[in-house]
Structure 1
Amino acid sequence: MYRLKILTVFFTYSLFFLPALLMAQDGRALYDKYCATCHGKNLEGGDGSSFIDAVWSYGDGKNAVFRNIKYGILNVGMPAWGSVMTDDDIRTLMGFIFDQENKSGVSPPPIAKEITTEDYKISVETVAEGLDTPWAIAFLDERHSLVTEKNGQLRFLIDDKLQPKPVANTPAVLNEGQGGLLDVAADPEYAQNGWVYLAYSHDLGTAKTGKSRSGAMTRIVRGKIKNNRWTSEQVIFEAPHEKYRTTRHHYGCRIVFDSEGYLYFSIGDRGAGDQAQDVAYPNGKLHRIHRDGKIPEDNPFVKDKNAIPSIFSYGHRNPQGLAFHPSTGELWETEHGPMGGDELNKPIMGLNYGWPEITYGINYNGDIISEFKEKPNMEQPVLHWTPSIAVCGIDFYKGGAFPKWENNLFVSALKYKQLARLVIEDNKVVKEEIILKNAGRVRDVGITNEGVIYMVLNRPGKILKLSPK
């Protein structure tokens, strides 16, 4: 009876733990075969990065790591292993790597308090933390700025101190998927009129539609803040309700103003790429309106009775970066591609930027979206990032804090967790410098009139301030 009990315990142990042991051994064997030469026998790094230093330079989520292994990171010399490993092999390998990382007990390094760039030594200060997926920052004056949180909260920073109470009475947002409270912008004449603009995901509500999943679309409103309360709200853009979609991703959205006071904003394709090519739909477009919501008479599609009259340009996937060049006044835009093909564009009124007819990316499952990278009457990006860095908010440098960087474009990236500085000459990117990396997913970058740089981070939800050392 005693022997039977021992055998039963052994069998039970084997049933539950042997597959895990075999998987670990298979993961070790796969690692030794395909990874150890570059990443070190004990995952300590070599020609490739370490897996046990808690730093993931090209995306740390399971989906990102899976795609990096399967499809490679060709611009840094990492080959695609999908042709020699099955998907199950890749998952087994990932399990081994993540297990070894956990066993190492290493935590991500703290954010550096000082960084050295090619031109300057910079002080890095955390001015706000504990935010719930902060999305954007807008500067009202030298002392006051506003930060949006995806959950719908609008928060003041006063003298670089986060105020504990959010602004009351802000519009209800659909905080679901990629939706929520997105961009915030101050009117060019804010000191005189007090207008603040918000972009957010607006849903029609299940009760209204009678559907189990209500339609939603990006909406733009403006209002004034008095005694920490949102007042005087005006809706300045709302798409026709029949154009709303039940998907919960690719809302865009950024808001910027040109030197004449026109307001520009972006809406992502909302997961319907074909609609980005159809001017009867608002999604997959850049839009241009007056600050009170009226449509400019010279917009390119105002005479097309079937078109959305606010459309400025079309064929965009998910634009989350807009900025005007301080010297030339030209509009620049960044947008998320699929797997590969993030883009930097210089949008021009009425032109087609190709999505999804042309793209430098492929689908997340490896399928081909389009065989074409270019077609007649479709514009090419100034720059594309392949693989994707998950490019996000942008801003041109202005101000006196770092004079050597005047007119350089600062570009944020979520997946690559970086802030980069691009030098642009004759509409070409001639140089790129990574300013800060691995502090968190960089959602937005904003630059004050004095030239101080602010970074909006997700995971962790923080605001960083970069100023001269």
Structure 2
Amino acid sequence: MTEPQFRRTTFSLELMKIEIPLVPEIGEHEHAAAVRGPVDDMMDPIRARRNAAGLGAVSVHHPKGPSLVAALVGAVRDLCPVRRQAVCTDAIGLVRKSARHSARHGHAPELHRAGEVADVVEGPRIGGERKPRRAARVEDPYQRRGHRPSLARRRGQWAAVGGRGLAAGVVFAFLANACASGGGIAVRSTPTPAGPAFTDTVIQSGLIVPWEVAVAPDGRMFVTERPGTISVFESTAPMAKRIASAEVSGVRAMGEAGLLGLALDPDFARNRFFYVCASRLDQGEWRNQVLRYTVSANALAVDTTILRTGIAAGGLHDACRLRFGPDGKLWIVTGDGGQPARAQDATSLNGKVLRINADGSVPSDNPMLKGQSAPSAVYALGLRNPGGLAFHPTTGTCFVVDAGDQTQDEIDEVSAGANFGWPTVLGPVGSSRGFADPAWSSGAPAVAVAGADFLSGPGWGAWADTLLVATLKEQDLRRFSVEDTHATQREILLDQKYGRLRAVTAVPDGSLLVTTSNGSGDRIIRIAPTR
């Protein structure tokens, strides 16, 4: 094994000097073949100095390289037992980027790199002076696995690269500041109500990318697996028996495409209908199609094709989540299929929120978009890769969770004719006209949001009617409160416990089902409040 090569970096802060040996370390990458970093480029020496504009650290993107910020976080964490937030934000105070960048249209599936200035925080006390700084979010590398936030070097910008680094010889003034009570830094926080106790239990395992799960009124659990299998389990009890399964014909599971969304008919108890979205080859074309199935005893059979044409399938951004809304209509969110222009094309069903009747016809009260002479299946547009679709249990308002391009994941409130901006804008629309502001956006880096649903039921107490969102890159479950047109992140749950999380489904008994998306040996987890 080749010995790591140390690169020494001089870090000057007024009269102080820090010399840090950086050790490259190979990290885990999601979809490593899709990473388009400069693989032959080595980490440049990182030099930071104080100037009128504030503190800065500059480095070059390398998927396997560390960064000054990671090194400082690691050093501080090793030398003083301070709160994670204080450690991270003190390190964050040393990173700056000069300008907001425009939306990029790269295509790294479910892989997102930093590229956005985040919140204004207050930098560490140096030389008795304290000034607000624009800072890029950087996670604690000792608390995260997988691909860390990174950024290609771009002209005129300061950038921080995420990754794990080891540091030595750190200035004691910096350490004393980081270890002081409160970390010596002001960070905006949002008080949260006391959360209920809950249990998380694995109820099924050995699956292959379970993309969606739904529970029937009689307790049977329906699951789609991306390679093309529909399975029915007799209940949500741990390791319940699989009582039926079927392979969807013609499925082409490649990249992010395959057997995807699933929804039970609102009148399932009577008609036994359920619906799936599958990426299929049909007459030589790769399409996402909505199929209706019937359940007879323990057998599954295709009943009809509800939506055959209009949604192009693709190995990238192939989201196709299904939900029946409180209005009885079938709602579908679709990705742009790797072609951003589709999201703004009203004649395409990609990058959209679709709303149709259960038989595939178009509701008469759907909006009529610009250039159309009649309502279509398109209810809203401008989405990139929406993995989550949920309805507020009290208001019935529809929310979509959309994964951004390396930055600016969004939670969007859906209204008739809304345009969420992709690929023209990403995140807050600012002065751009004609686009809807997100209820929440992640800033940088993105966390690769996926499925979402609302908690409901008295067992959740103060958490009732709040939104739970799964993440792929960060491998956790995030709780958001939703008020009016704004969503606020409250807690992070199941942090790194089960790997990448894909689907989130609330079930009639008030519990929540979450699926993993690790590629093999995947699981379904039941989360329930402790009675």
Task: Flag whether TM exceeds 0.5 (same fold).
Answer: yes
Structure 1: where are the runs of 5+ without partners? 1-16, 50-61, 85-89, 98-116, 210-214, 362-371
How far apart in 2 are the matches of 1:70 and 1:256? 32
Cα displacement string for residues 39-86 of structure 1 (whole angstroms, at most 9, x for unaligned residues): 13998997798xxxxxxxxxxxx99999469999923477978669xx
In the TM superposition, what whole-angstrom CA distance separates every residue of 1:191-239 from its partner, at most 9, and x where no partner exists?
A: 11111010121223xxx44xxxxx4232111111224332242111122
Q: 1:264 to 1:272 in 2, by over 3 A?
A: same
197 and 457 in structure 1: CA distance in 2 versus 1, 3 angstrom threshold:
same
Q: Match of 1:367?
A: none
Query: More deviation in 386-395 or 162-171?
Result: 162-171
**Aligned match of 2:137 in 37, 58, 75?**
75
Does residue 229 of structure 1 match 2:305?
no
Please state how far the C-alpha of 1:339 moved relative to its aligned partner: 0.6
Query: Is the 8 Å Cα contact of residues 111 and 448 (structure 2) preserved in structure 1?
Result: no
Aligned position for 1:189: 267
> What's the CA shift string for 1:110-164, capped at 9, x where partnerless?
xxxxxxx932221221111111111111011252111111111112232323434
* Residue of structure 2 equivalent to 1:177: 255
Find 1:377's aligned residue among 403, 410, 434.
Answer: 434
Which moves more between the two structures, 134-143 or 183-192? 134-143
2:447 corresponds to which of 372, 377, 389: 389
Distance 1:45 1:238, change over 3 A: farther
User: Residue type matched to 2:292 in 1?
Assistant: R
The answer to whether residue 290 in structure 2 is matched with residue 220 in structure 1 is yes
Cα distance in 1 for residues equivalent to 2:163 and 2:442: 25
Higher helix share: 1
2:415 is aligned to 348
Query: Contact (CA 8 Å) 1:70, 1:82: kept in 2 or not?
Result: no
String of CA shifts for 1:305-328, please: whole Å, max 9, x gaps: 688821111111111111111111
User: By how many angstroms is 1:173 displaced?
Assistant: 1.4
Check the 8 A contact 1:146/1:157 in 2, yes or no.
yes
SS of the residue aligned with 1:130?
Answer: strand
Aligned partner of 2:508 in structure 1 is: 449
Contact 2:231/2:245, CA 8 A, preserved across alignment: yes
Structure 2 gap ranges (5+): 9-19, 25-45, 47-67, 85-107, 119-134, 141-148, 155-159, 167-192
Q: Distance in 2 between matches of 1:448 and 1:344?
A: 22
1:199 paired to 2:277: yes
Native 8 Å contact 1:417 1:442 kept in 2: yes
Correspondence 1:277 to 2:312: no
Letter matched to residue 384 of structure 1: S
Give the conservation status (yes or no) of the 8 Å contact 1:424–1:431: no
**Aligned 8 A contact 2:214 2:507 in 1:** no
Conserved 8 A contact 1:168-1:228: no
* Counterpart-to-counterpart distance in 1, 2:415 and 2:309: 22
Residue 128 (str. 1) matches residue 204 (str. 2) = yes
Change (3 A) 1:230 1:43: farther
Given candidates 416, 426, 429, the residue that maps to 2:487 is 429
Q: How many angstroms apart in 2 are the aligned matches of 1:417 and 1:344?
A: 18
Partner of 1:29: 21
How is 1:45-64 mapped onto 2 (pairs within 5 angstroms)?
none
Scaled by the length of structure 1, the TM-score of the pair is 0.74
Aligned to 1:298: 365
Bigger mean CA offset, 420-429 vs 28-37: 28-37
CA distance in 2, matches of 1:412, 1:404: 20
SS in 1 for 2:462: helix
Partner of 1:325: 392
Q: 1:230 to 1:373 in 2, by over 3 A?
A: farther
Q: How far is 1:172 from its partner? A: 3.1
Q: Does 1:417 align with 2:475?
A: yes
TM-score by length of 2: 0.66
Deviation at 1:442, TM superposition (A): 1.1
Cα distance in 2 between the residues matched to 1:170 and 1:335: 27
Note closer, same or farther for the CA distance 1:230–1:170 as it changes in structure 2 (3 Å cut): farther
Answer yes or no: is the 8 Å Cα contact 2:455–2:506 preserved in 1.
Answer: yes
Q: 1:277 to 1:186 in 2, by over 3 A?
A: same
Structure 1 distance, partners of 2:367, 2:112, is 43
* Structure 2 match to 1:11: none
For the residues of structure 2 that align with 1:42 and 1:452, how far apart are their CA atoms?
37
Give the CA deviation at 1:411: 1.1
* Match in the other structure for 1:398: 456
Q: Does 1:140 align with 2:202?
A: no
